[in-house]
Structure 1
Amino acid sequence: MKRRWHNIFKNDRKAFILAMDHGNGLNVLPEMQKPGEIIKKAVAGGIDGILTTFGIANNFQKEIDNIGLILRIDGGNSQLATEKEPMKNLYSVEDAVRIGADGVLCMGFPGAYLEEATLTNLAKNAADCHRWGLVLGAEMLPRGFESTPDARDPSNVALACRMGAELGADFIKTQYVGSKETFRKIVDGCYRPILVLGGSNTKSDEEILKMVKDSMEAGASGVVMGRNIWRHENIEGICRAITKVIHENIDVTDALKEL
């Protein structure tokens, strides 16, 4: 697994991952009409890896080239669904090996309805990744996507991240919450690297870069960002700016000059 790990995390133990795994259940048009063009621009901007679907991984191998490849292996619901079922594996870890992935990612929803479905799935994926030598990422979100007052409470996020590590994840993906001080406690309580998700709301360039900078100063090991990149009018520029914040520790003012 060591080689695959270093395909995702660079020598500074940090990673910038482009998320393009939305299309297995959500409408990504018109912005993601040409996935290959998005990937080429993001690679030129310095991303370290891509989190994506089986379809994109299979059809855009040339554009993905030698960056780290993480396959989203769970899902099962679309935005058209009238009844929601728990997330479950759509593909196996062996499928990810065959397609040339360095790792896989799945959900973990402590406190959500039927939480045992995602947590059991996560545990099985951890065992399978260990068997095949793949990196496992766990997207740990308290209550899942439920809109409850405590869904993103820092103490619950800390619990969820630690659970992901205990269940065998090699890295955790979660939401940046609170101040740098509160997020530092979340990082300190989890013995695996934490990558911060980019969020679904469209933000200004300054807000995006400030979130990245604050996350890194709070101890995060990088970000996994999607819509705020592939919806951006300057994909290469925003990727280059984020890359320099993560790997060169430049400030937001200097990063904005990359745009």
Structure 2
Amino acid sequence: MTYRSDAAALSAKSAGCFQACTPSFRAHYARPSNLTIHTTMADITTSAADKKEKEYFTDVPQQAPGFFLKGSHQYDWGLKNRLSKVFNPKDGRTVMLAFDHGYFQGPTTGLERVDQTILPLEPYADCLMLTRGIQRSIIPASTQKAIALRASGGTSMVSPFEEWEGEIDGRKAKFGRPGFEPLSNESTALNIEEAIRLNASLLAVQVFIGSAYERQSLKNLTDLVDAGARYGIAVMGVVAVGRAMARNAQYFRLATRIMAELGAHVVKCYYTDEGFETITSCCPVPIVIAGGKKLPELDALKMSYNAIQQGASGVDMGRNIFQSEDPVAMMKAVRGVVHEGLTPEQGFAMFNDLKGK
């Protein structure tokens, strides 16, 4: 009995199958009898001179650098990549331009024509905070800026509220009873599929700690955190402060910590003149400050500078930019303070130099 190798047996079997085919099939696919194939080892073996020697770097341990953002080292690659578009990896800071006010205020001062006001500012922002309607209708799809998409809403400035008499800055005023803010009755305003379609890096959701709708707004936050986690999209919890709520360090320590504990990747809150460093210290994720009401340019720059010095990872300004005497000059001055280490006075000098040019 003769034993053949598996390769020889397979070759013989293949030849037998070929012979079993129809004559026309064999005639079409058979090798021409006059065809000669010449193969040498040089054809299949690269010479030692031409071959690049492999480098395994056995003496160099693989680097495993931590991510540059506070509290972000455990995130998935895609989420980190999106956050690195919001925050500059060189310094871990951001200048966000907020112009989502129209979702409850309508055409507020400075945003009557978003195309005229905001588009000249777009080149100087790291991230644009906006609604999906403005993103689709105004912002060019060619923008390279990160998108922070407003993801909660449902009420407006004209929402009715119960009367309650109290004080604002020591003056009598009438507004909803303590803890009752009609604007706090928000729901999620888009789903995760829409956020993906709009290529959002960050979803912004308002949270009303201490209001009548605290539970609902926290549920909005956690629902978006869960949805975003499936696709690597970050969520920013925005501390909303009603007219009857105190803006002090104790309140912001509570609000920012709650949102971080419930999964927010970034938190936005107001700056406080006293104790702001305690807010950033006990919040395990990056904090960016809200600009709030319009301030004189030097005061806004001082607020930005102090916040950065006390642990903030950036600013998310709106009215202090687009309501400025010269929005582009102010935008550049804020960038100078946040990213270039300018003092408020240096930033203000930059503003004055650029103003009107």
TM-score by length of 1: 0.92
Aligned to 1:75: 153
Aligned to 2:345: 253
Among 169, 184, 193, the residue aligned to 2:277: 184
Pairwise CA distance, 1:49: 0.7
| Partner AA of 1:54 in structure 2 | R
- Does the C-alpha gap of structure 1 residues 29 and 172 become closer, same or farther in structure 2, counting only changes over 3 Å? closer
- Does the C-alpha gap of structure 1 residues 29 and 194 become closer, same or farther in structure 2, counting only changes over 3 Å? closer
Preserved contact between residue 70 and residue 103 of structure 1 (Cα < 8 Å): yes
Cα deviation code 1:200-256 (max 9, x no counterpart): 2x2111011000011111110011111121112311100000001001111111111
| Partner AA of 1:253 in structure 2 | E
Q: Does 1:156 align with 2:235?
A: no
User: How many residues align structurally?
Assistant: 251
Among 96, 100, 103, the residue aligned to 1:24: 103
Aligned to 2:20: none
Aligned to 2:212: 113
Counterparts of residues 30-109 of structure 1 (less than 5 Å): 31-44=110-123, 46-62=124-140, 65-83=143-161, 84=182, 86-109=185-208
Counterparts of residues 137-152 of structure 1 (less than 5 Å): 137-141=236-240, 144-148=241-245, 151-152=246-247
Aligned equivalents of 1:63, 1:34: Cα separation in 2: 19
Among 80, 83, 86, the residue aligned to 1:8: 86
Aligned to 2:303: 211
Cα deviation code 1:70-117 (max 9, x no counterpart): 110111111122142611111112211111211110011221112100
Aligned equivalents of 1:227, 1:64: Cα separation in 2: 25
Matched position secondary structure for 1:66: coil
Among 315, 334, 342, the residue aligned to 1:242: 334
Preserved contact between residue 101 and residue 108 of structure 2 (Cα < 8 Å): no
Cα deviation code 1:3-41 (max 9, x no counterpart): 211111101111110101110110334521321232332
Q: Does 1:225 align with 2:317?
A: yes
- Farther off after superposition, 57-66 or 103-112: 57-66
Preserved contact between residue 173 and residue 194 of structure 1 (Cα < 8 Å): yes
Aligned equivalents of 1:94, 1:173: Cα separation in 2: 24
Q: Does 1:194 align with 2:273?
A: no
Preserved contact between residue 93 and residue 104 of structure 1 (Cα < 8 Å): no
Cα deviation code 1:169-218 (max 9, x no counterpart): 11000011133xx1111111001000000012x21110110000111111
Aligned to 2:231: 132
Q: Larger % of helix: which?
A: 1
Aligned to 2:270: 175
Aligned to 2:168: none
Preserved contact between residue 69 and residue 103 of structure 1 (Cα < 8 Å): yes
Task: List gaps (5 residues or longer) in structure 1.
Answer: none
Aligned equivalents of 1:245, 1:37: Cα separation in 2: 25
Aligned equivalents of 2:243, 2:343: Cα separation in 1: 35
Q: Which of 1 and 2 has greater Rg?
A: 2
TM-score by length of 2: 0.67
Aligned to 2:169: none
Q: CA RMSD in A?
A: 1.6
| Partner AA of 2:97 in structure 1 | L
Preserved contact between residue 123 and residue 168 of structure 1 (Cα < 8 Å): yes
Task: List gaps (5 residues or longer) in structure 2.
Answer: 1-78, 162-181, 352-357
| Partner AA of 1:198 in structure 2 | G
**Which 4+ residue blocks in structure 1 deviate beyond 4 angstroms?**
none
Q: Does 1:122 align with 2:185?
A: no
Pairwise CA distance, 1:161: 0.5
Matched position secondary structure for 1:91: coil
Relative contact order higher in (CA < 8 Å, ≥ 6 apart): 1
Matched position secondary structure for 2:263: coil
- Does the C-alpha gap of structure 1 residues 69 and 107 become closer, same or farther in structure 2, counting only changes over 3 Å? same
Preserved contact between residue 228 and residue 235 of structure 2 (Cα < 8 Å): yes
